[in-house]
Amino acid sequence: MRPYLDKAIPEAWKAASAYSDAVAKATAEHGLTTAEAEFIKVRASQLNACAFCLDLHARESRAAGITQQQLDVLPAWRESSLFSEREKAVLAIAEAATRMPLGEDGEADLAAARGVLGDEVFAAAEWVALTINMFNRLSILSEHPVRPRDADGNLIR
């Protein structure tokens, strides 16, 4: 088992947490909703296979009003009518920002998303995608465990 990076160098974790808080505040001020930010976090975490972040952000997504059905079909969002045009735009940003380098498809997705969202919300969504990708890598490299929870999200002891 590798060391938890957040515990091994707590001052770096504190700075990362402050950065995340600043991104959340700024992106909300620029028009990105909490639910939209959570869609980005869950989709990027799915692509990165970050179990810890998926566990956390699935719960936070439901608290933000995202339906269980939307979470269930999220990997197939492009084929679903359950997502608004704006939700699809932020999901396209999540995928493009996670699957690097950008190819033609990623560039096209970003251009279309920018057209739907406008510059401010588009940039806000990219900041959220950048941030969750950092936290995914931190949790994966630290091998943060997913602890069992009950149906209400409470830890099972």
Domain ranges in the chain are 30-142
Over residues 3-22, the pLDDT tens digits come to: 999 999 999 999 999 999 99
Predicted local distance difference test score (pLDDT) of residue 1: 79
pLDDT digits 0-9 by tens, 89-138: 999 999 999 999 999 999 999 999 999 999 999 999 999 999 999 999 99
pTM score, whole prediction: 0.95
pLDDT tens-digit profile of 36-92?
999 999 999 999 999 999 999 999 999 999 999 999 999 999 999 999 999 999 999
What local confidence, expressed as pLDDT, does residue 111 receive? 98
Tokens of 120: 């401010």
CATH superfamily to which 30-142 belongs:
AhpD-like (1.20.1290.10)
Give 153's pLDDT tier (boundaries 50, 70, 90).
confident
pLDDT at 152: 84
pLDDT of residue 75: 98
